[in-house]
Amino acid sequence: MSQKSFRDALNEALHLEMERDGTIIVLGEDVSGGAGGTSGQREASGGIFGVTKGLLPKFGADRVIDTPISESAIIGAAGGAALAGLRPVAELMFADFVGVSMDQIFNQMAKFRYMFGGKTRCPAVVRLAMGAGMNMGAQHSQSIYALLTAVPGLKVVVPSNAYDAKGLLIQAIRDDDPVMFFEHKALYPRKGEVPDGAYTIPFGEANLLREGEHVTVVAIGRMVVFAEKVVDTLAKEGITCDLIDPRTTSPLDEETILESVENTGRLVVVDESNPRCSVAADICAIVAEKGFHSLKAAPRSVTAPHSPVPFARELERAYVPGPTRIEAAIREVMKG
């Protein structure tokens, strides 16, 4: 057990699992890097964010595959390899590239098990780097897990910290259904206590990070970091909150959220995505439908605005839901 970054925790997960199971392969753009380069050096990247570092030298080019820029072929190959008995972990360098590979995700791998009468399995994992806050512009900064949460047949994972990241990635690799694994770029350097060995965290089980009486705060991905700050500050004032990190949006741990709202009667959901048809909207609707009689105030969501991610620093700062807006939302539901 020691302090490790989110990125290194993911890397550890990959190393441990690939050692354990020879059918696991990794594929994506520059997952090793340097193929065909004039320096003759491989491992030029270890993945653009360093998550797949060290895998090629250890496991070889048959299992760590640098691909051309062909997202449909990459994801399609993952689906086909999974049907054929391998356990692929494919990478979409930026979650935004889901666009050019969408058919292979939502028409193909999501639906094989169902369409083929339950007689196949597609144990593929697709890792996607998402999120804003690093000035990468509209097409490299989105948080679009809601699109995939909506697709039956997929599981969607959004870890918020290094410990969860490792356990959830190992779980994803061992899971026999197709899993979309979202990694917020701004979380990669964040450190936390992470055990050295392998461990799993089950899907559909939220983490209760703080306990309180007054408000249920649900936060997703990087928003957990901001929400924690706000909840701790408000606790000093006597406003205490249950802080729930769902960890997976599909399956979603509705039970924990509803049980918490039964106690507190108030809900705030924090989600970096755009508001329409977001997971925040989904959670508010679920609570309104199933927990209506527990509510003392209307549920509130704190999301990005209905706009693409802007480039200028000041605008991007205003785009991402921050502690100020989260605190305002909590205070507002306290008013009833």
Q: Write out the binding residues for another protein, residues 19-38 only, by CB under 8 A.
A: 25, 27
Nearer to another protein, 45 or 263 (CB): 263
Contact characters 193-222, another protein, x per CB under 8 A: ------xxxxxxxxxx--x-----------
Q: What are phi and psi of 264, to 5 degrees?
A: -90, -35
- Catalytic positions are 140
If one asks whether residue 68 binds another protein (CB under 8 A), the answer comes out as yes
If one asks whether residue 150 binds another protein (CB under 8 A), the answer comes out as no
Q: Applying CB under 8 A, which of residues 14, 82, 98, 268 lies at the interface with another protein?
A: 82
If one asks whether residue 79 binds another protein (CB under 8 A), the answer comes out as yes
Report, in Å, the least distance between residue 328 CB and another protein. Answer: 22
Q: What are phi and psi of 9, to 5 degrees?
A: -65, -40
DSSP 308: P
Q: Rounded to an integer, what distance in angstroms lies between the CA atom of residue 246 and that of residue 203?
A: 9
Which of the residues 83 through 142 are near another protein (CB under 8 A)? Answer: 83-86, 88, 103-104, 107-108, 112-121
Report, in Å, the least distance between residue 259 CB and another protein. Answer: 4
Which of the residues 153 through 182 are near another protein (CB under 8 A)? Answer: 153, 155, 167, 170-171, 174-177
Half-sphere exposure (Cβ direction) of 218: Cα atoms closer than 13 Å:
34
If one asks whether residue 242 binds another protein (CB under 8 A), the answer comes out as yes
287: which 2 tokens? 């609570």
Contacts of 27 (CB under 8 A, 6+ apart): 64, 65, 67, 74, 77, 78, 88, 89, 90, 91
Burial class (CB in 10 A: 0-12, 13-18, 19+), 37: exposed
Report, in Å, the least distance between residue 286 CB and another protein. Answer: 8
Nearer to another protein, 141 or 160 (CB): 160
Q: Which amino acid is at 286?
A: I
